[in-house]
Chain A
Amino acid sequence: MTNIFGTLNIGKVALTTQQTVIDVTGHNIANVNTPGYTRQRVNMTNTSITGYQGMTVGSGVKIEDIERVYNNFVEQQIKLENQQLGYWESKKSALDNIEMIFNEASGYGIAKAMNEFWGAWNDLSNNPSGYAERVALLTKSETLAFTLNQAYIGLNEIQQNLTSTLASDLDQINQTAAYVKDLNSQIMQAEVSGYRANDLRDQRDSLIKELSSMIDIETTEDVDGNISVFVGGGHPLVSPVNSWELATATNPDPALEDIIVWESTEGSTVDITEKINDGSIKGMLDVRDITIPDYQNRLNDLAEGLINGINNVHTTGEDLNGDPGGVFFNLPDVDEPAKYMAVGIDDPELIVAAAVGGGIGDNTVALSIAELQENLTMDGNSATYSDFFQSLVSDVGIATQYADTNYENQEIMLTQLKNHRESISGVSLDEEMVNLTKFQHAYQAAAQLINTVDEMLEALISLA
């Protein structure tokens, strides 16, 4: 026979159960806008005991567990695509900066400086004994050298900015890794009792997603619910009880920018720069270590070509004083011509227009130099200086456009995935409101049950 207090118990458990479910619903509603929140769902089952006359009688409801509605596959996909997005985002941002240095579309640039430089040589060839033409030529030459210097230095500055951004991003990675480690122990403690620490897991997932956009990581989860994170070719970043750090360090080759190292617990460091394959860190490394040096080399080639081409002809003539022509452009540092290129003449009279012994009205050398503009002097004698520079600008444009397109595509892809995730794990207020009504009615019914049992008890007691 069933116990009247058993019935009371059914009512009581029903009440508390529905109340708990309403709690969870309320939790969902409260967190509708929390980023990374996974909606929670209560799984209820019915219970039964062997009771009345050997028959199994139901004994009410029980909460099986409170689960996160969560699809691991989608989460992993998101993590992967996040890495790509981080890569293209940082690459696009750096290239947008580089593009401004080569922005010949507006205002003054290297192409225009070169055109005006050649124009000044033409003007000198038209009046080879002229002083005014020489003064103007000096000005245009200094502008050309300056413009090349600035472009090169501008690229250097972007490199340095990237290095310092890398350093601060690594700090952020280290902090995030430490938080993940903390959450690992919190989750483990919370789940010791056998229940899922849903909200802590949500937090940990967010942090891991953050990490994944910055650097490519491998994650594994163990039976205790800890997540370990590996980075840079298998080096641990987070373990169940520990976290490690990444940092920038001076490059053994002093001409190159800082490398990225992983710090072991004993204090030794390992260079992992080459082992990073994705994420915003990789995007910055690629631009800093591959793209920019390529552009700088091309600027150097252009500067060297100009300097040698002009000096070689200039030294074959004689200046206004009748002295043999000296060097026109100076090159203090052979390694970085574009950075240090400068005009080597300050007295206009030292500028050569005439061939040796040609007379003051001779313009042979000036004509030859003016014609260098159209000679195939670059790229193994297949391109003019202008052609060479144009293809550099084109390439910068192509690289930037490519990064832009890839970033947009990646965003679209990620949005699709996130929508999919949202569809599975997101909170729908309408749905929760309907549930609320549902559970509220259940609560009212349970309360009514208790009321009924209460009256039954009263009837029972009044028997005595």
Chain B
Amino acid sequence: MRVTNNLMMNSLRMSLYKSTNSLVELTEKVATGKKINRPSDDPDGMGRVLDFQNTISRVNQYMQNIAVGKTHMEVTENVLEEVENYIELAQTVALDQTAGDSDSRLKAVDQIKSYFDQILSLANSKLGDRYLFAGNQSDDEPFSRNADGIDGTGDDYLAVYNGDDGEYKIIIGTANQVKINSHGDEVFTGDSLVDGVNIFNVLNDLVTALENPDIDAGTTQIISQLDSLEQAQDQVNAARIRSANAYDQLKTTNDYWTDFKVNIEQQLSNIQDADLAQSVVELQNQELVYETTLALAGEIMQISYLNFLR
């Protein structure tokens, strides 16, 4: 084939273009640390990168939701533990007073009343913007003292539930919501339970029993209140167990997401990240090729017939 000057120059130019293009691509990979810098670098990979990023974002959100849920439940658990303690204290007092006389019984009344106050205050606990036991009427105190109580005809030591039985749920996974609250009716008033008991009424009845001037009749009443107090304690405990189960579910799910996230991030990195060591080596290779091509070009271009004419 007949080779002309232009042919040699074009050939050279094409080689140089190829070299410099490679250099540009490799430099970009090293600089950004990524194999995929635009959709056309790897369209299929780009789609998967977006998919993984979406998944990671969702998993992060689930874990955030779970954190909110856990905090709520931890606080609830602390409150319910204290409530159960007070009920136990009331049980001890009642037990003692089955054999008590009217003097000690009157003193016991003050103790029971103070337990009532504590439990009422705990029932109105708040976390952030939300009253814990109000269901979805979470802006207002769920429990108020009997409205009639102050003027003497009513009883200061009865409570009215103003909340509802709304469920407070969080999203912990795909189509996976978990209820994280306990509302007043399932813990304190027992209205939503099959064999529920109203703790405030139980304490109030105990006070009445302690104040009964007839010691023997009072003792009978106190003994029957012991049963009710037992029921009340079981009720609170049951709420704590339900809560604990949900809490475990949150923890397990969180652990699952943590592992899953590590896995997905690894896969994302595999698709997206450039192997730095390899890229740098390729870059150096390409530089060598480029330099060699240039050197060769310089040599060849200088030789021509003109050098040999006399």
Contact = CB atoms under 8 A, between A and B. Distances in A.
A74 to B, nearest CB: 13
Contacts, number: 182
B175 A429 contact: no
A122 B305 contact: no
Contact of A361 (B41, B130, B171, B174): B130
Nearest to B139: A360
B43 A127 contact: no
Contact of B304 (A361, A390, A424, A429): A429
Given A361-B138, A422-B6, A426-B5, A401 B40 contact: yes
A104 B137 contact: no
Given A115-B54, A419-B7, A428-B4, A359 B128 contact: no
Interface residues of A, number: 65
Contact of B175 (A106, A371, A387): A371
Interface string A175-191: 00000000000000000
A394 B44 contact: yes
Interface string A347-384: 00000001000111111000100110110000000000
B163 to A, nearest CB: 8
Nearest to A389: B50
Contact of B3 (A95, A361, A371, A423): A423
A119 interface: yes
Given A122-B171, A126-B170, A426 B6 contact: yes
Contact of A394 (B47, B69, B138, B309): B47
A393 B139 contact: no
Interface of B: 1-7, 10-11, 14, 32, 34, 36-44, 46-47, 49-51, 53-54, 57-58, 60-61, 64-65, 68-69, 128-130, 134-139, 164, 166, 168-171, 174-175, 177, 304-306, 309
Contacts of B309: 433, 437
Nearest to B56: A115
8 contacts: A104-B49, A105-B39, A129-B138, A359-B137, A367-B169, A371-B171, A371-B175, A390-B54
Contact of A433 (B49, B64, B129, B305): B305
Interface of A: 32-33, 95-96, 99-100, 102-106, 111-112, 115-116, 118-119, 122-123, 125-127, 129-130, 354, 358-363, 367, 370-371, 373-374, 386-387, 389-391, 393-398, 400-401, 404, 415, 418-419, 422-424, 426-431, 433-434, 437
Q: Which 9 A-B pairs have the closest CB atoms?
A: A397-B39, A361-B138, A397-B43, A359-B136, A426-B4, A400-B40, A394-B47, A115-B57, A361-B136
